[in-house]
Amino acid sequence: MPIARALQFVLRRAGLNARLQEMWRKDIARTAATTAGLTDKTVSQLNRSIDDGREWQRVSDARLNECEARLAQSDAAIQALQKRLAEFERATVVDNRQARLATDWTLRFKPADIRAHAAHAVAGAAMHETPAAHLVVEQLLPPDFYEFLLASLPGADLFRQSEPMDMDLGPGPFDLVPRLTRLLWEFVGTDVADSLTAAALQRLRAPVLARYEKFFGRERAEAILAAAHGHSGERLTLRRRGYLERPHVDPKRASIAVFVNLAPRDAPEAIGMTLYSIDGNFLPIRTGVAHPESHGLTCAPVSSVPYHPNSALILVNAGTAHAIAIPDESAPPDLLRYGFQFYIGPSVPTLIDIASTLPPADQQPWLGLVGER
């Protein structure tokens, strides 16, 4: 009996252990599953956190780059303002020194006499027909006024620089120059240019009419020549040694181009304008400056017009190309060669009106004028 009870006890104990083991197995399985779920969730949360961190870094980098770009723009704007302020300060100092001259220059130099002198110089200028009609004008302005004008030329730092040896100063920036400089060059760009325009049209009437006939025919040419002509594109130019232009033709709106040389009295004469013949009938499609060689044509140098002090070249814009070259060896090393240029021609609306009467195919080369109104 004791043995039987002991056996039953052992069996019950073994069953209990089996149930406990089963419970333990299930509990471990549940714990493992829970742990695995928590681990996956944690890993997912960590991945999201990493992605969020990367996005934050990307946004931060973008904002940092934007801030740096704005800072650079601000620095550039500040530098531009400082430069402009310095220019105004220099102009103010010069204005104070030249106040009397700015007020009295029209008493010392009679504007009417200057205009008459320029017109008379053009009327008596030598006419040349090759390679296209042009006038070479000497002593364009009264000598004493010319010297006064040279002394008023603005400094090189005021010129817009399109390339190291080629800079232009149009009417816009003239608020930065001293008052006397502004007054004198406004006078040259309006009153003197008016006189030169009238005198040049009178001397060059025949070749200008021939130019219009080539483009528009005889009847339309007479109508254009009878229309009012004016000047445009007035600008001071500044060239350094080593400057070299390609042979080119001026914009179509320009019937005549005027180049005034502003060299000092002792300037070397190795600098001038070269005139080229064009091998072929060059009728460019575009209305702006055109280069015949870019269209497969050959430009052959025919003559050179030296730029004497106080002289001008007045050139009909027809059948020829031109270019300026300043040799590298020109002296001095810091050579600055000033000039004044402008165009003469009918108004753009007048040209558009005439061009609109042409056959459609012939209107194409003039369409660019619409953007030049």
Poorest-confidence range of 50-59, 169-178, 292-301?
169-178
Residue entry with tokens 């209305």? 287
H or E stretch covering 156: none
| 74-90 confidence digits (pLDDT tens) | 777 787 666 666 665 66
d(CA 339, CA 153): 10
Q: Does the pLDDT value for residue 10 go beyond 80?
A: no
| Residue linked to tokens 């052992």 | 10
pLDDT score for 1: 52
Residue with tokens 């209107």: 363
Q: Residue 368 contacts by C-beta under 8 Å, 6 or more apart in sequence?
A: 252, 286, 287, 288
Average predicted confidence (pLDDT) for the chain: 82
The whole-model pTM stands at: 0.74
C-alpha–C-alpha distance, residues 297 and 292, integer Å: 5
Tokens for 38?
Answer: 């928590």
Segment 283-293 shows an average pLDDT of 86
Q: Mapped to the 3 state alphabet, what secondary structure does 100-118 carry? A: HHHHHHHHHCCHHHHHHHH
The answer, yes or no, to whether the previous bond of 346 is cis (omega within 30 of 0) is no
Per-residue pLDDT band for 163 (boundaries 50, 70, 90) equals: very low
Q: Give tens-digit pLDDT for 187-209.
A: 999 999 999 999 999 999 999 99
Tell the residue number behind the tokens 């070749």, with chain if given: 207
pLDDT tens by residue, 251-283: 999 999 999 999 888 776 667 899 999 998 887
- Give percent helix, percent strand, percent coil of the chain, each to the nearest 5: 55, 20, 25
